[in-house]
Amino acid sequence: MYSAEKGLGAYVNDRRLRVSARRRLGEAVIGTGMPFGERADQPGYIGTLGAIMGATSGVRRMGSAALDLAYVAAGRYDGFWEFGLAPWDIAAGILLVREAGGFVSDLAGGHEMMTTGDVLAANDHLHLPLRR
């Protein structure tokens, strides 16, 4: 079970979580969600996916943004991004990543994730290169 409390860290069961220490984007494994249904025509998604695939070691899709963010917190993924999520998809995961030492922003680098639903999470070395 994943858990976090602001200022007290993030855990899976009783093990403390830390984001990945990877420094090179070319070695990173990144999680994402792929738009479907009404969101399938999300502008820019295919271009973003292509850019990330070309710059990293791989892209994975689990199907749950909450679990993807938990995997970033646990260091299983080096980063995660997705467009247009609902607050309940990302709220807990944002806290997990931050308490595990990671950075979370919207895709512009701001703090409007809960409003826009656009989210990017990674460690301090990969966050900016992924945002670019």
Q: How far apart are CA 124 and CA 70, in angstroms?
A: 17
pTM above 0.85, yes or no: yes
Residue range 57-97, pLDDT digits in tens? 899 898 899 999 999 999 999 999 998 899 999 999 999 99
Burial class of residue 41, CB neighbours in 10 A (0-12, 13-18, 19+): exposed
Q: Return the DSSP state at 1.
A: -
Instruction: Tell the burial category of 5 from Cβ atoms under 10 Å away from its Cβ (0-12, 13-18, 19+).
Output: exposed
pLDDT band of 44, cuts 50, 70, 90: confident
Write down all domains in the chain, each with its CATH number in brackets: 25-131 (3.40.190.80)
Comparing 132 with 102, the larger pLDDT belongs to 102
